[in-house]
Amino acid sequence: MTAGLLPVSMFCPQGEGMTATGTSRAPVVGWIGLGDQGLPMAVALVDAGFPLHVWARRPASLDGLSNVPHVSHDNVEDLAAACDIVALCVGTDDDVLQLAGQLLKGLRPGSVVVNHGTGLPSAAVRLTELCAVSGVEVLDAPVSGGRPGAEERRLTTMVGGSPEVAERCEKVFAAYSRHVVHLGAAGSGQTAKLFNNTLMMMNQAAIADIADLANRLGLDLTQLFGVLKLGSASSAALTLLNTMVRPDNVEHLSGVEALDMELFEQAMREADVDAAEATARGLSGAERLPDLIRRLNV
Mean pLDDT computed over 223-249: 97
- pLDDT at 83 (0 to 100): 98
Query: What confidence tier does 16 reach under pLDDT thresholds 50, 70, 90?
Result: very low
What are the pLDDT digits (tens) for 116-161? 999 999 999 999 999 999 999 999 999 999 999 999 999 999 999 9
- pLDDT at 97 (0 to 100): 97
Specify whether the CB–CB gap between 255 and 289 falls below 8 A: no
- pLDDT at 12 (0 to 100): 35
CATH topology of domain 2-185: Rossmann fold (3.40.50)
For the chain, give every residue range classified as CATH 3.40.50.720. 2-185
Class of domain 191-296: mainly alpha
Is the model's pLDDT at 17 over the cut of 80?
no
Q: Facing residues of 177 across strands?
A: 155
- pLDDT at 298 (0 to 100): 82
Query: What confidence tier does 24 reach under pLDDT thresholds 50, 70, 90?
Result: low
Mean pLDDT computed over 174-193: 98
Query: What confidence tier does 11 reach under pLDDT thresholds 50, 70, 90?
Result: very low
- pLDDT at 26 (0 to 100): 85
Is the model's pLDDT at 8 over the cut of 50?
no
The CB-side HSE value for 176 (13 A sphere, CA atoms) comes to 29
What are the pLDDT digits (tens) for 57-98? 998 999 999 999 999 999 999 999 999 999 999 999 999 999
Q: Which residues neighbour 62 within 8 Å (Cβ) at sequence distance 6 or greater? A: 34, 54, 56, 72
Is the model's pLDDT at 223 over the cut of 60?
yes
Specify whether the CB–CB gap between 73 and 85 falls below 8 A: no
Is the model's pLDDT at 290 over the cut of 80?
yes
- pLDDT at 20 (0 to 100): 52
Query: What confidence tier does 25 reach under pLDDT thresholds 50, 70, 90?
Result: confident
CA distances from 213 to 200, 207, 216, 221 (A): 20, 10, 5, 10
Mean pLDDT computed over 285-294: 98
- pLDDT at 19 (0 to 100): 53
- For the whole prediction, is pTM greater than 0.85? yes
- pLDDT at 1 (0 to 100): 52
- pLDDT at 124 (0 to 100): 98
Is the model's pLDDT at 21 over the cut of 70?
no
Report CA 183 to chain centroid distance, whole Å. 16
**DSSP secondary structure of the chain:** -EE-SS-GGG---SS-EE-TTS-EEPPPEEEE--STTHHHHHHHHHHTT--EEEE-SSGGGGGGGTTS--EE-SSHHHHHHH-SEEEE--S-HHHHHHHHHHHTTTPPTT-EEEE-S---HHHHHHHHHHHHTTT-EEEE--EESHHHHHHTT-EEEEEES-HHHHHHHHHHHHTTEEEEEEEESTTHHHHHHHHHHHHHHHHHHHHHHHHHHHHHTT--HHHHHHHHTTSTT--HHHHTBTTTB-TTTHHHHHHHHHHHHHHHHHHHHHTT---HHHHHHHHHHHHHHHHHHHHHT-
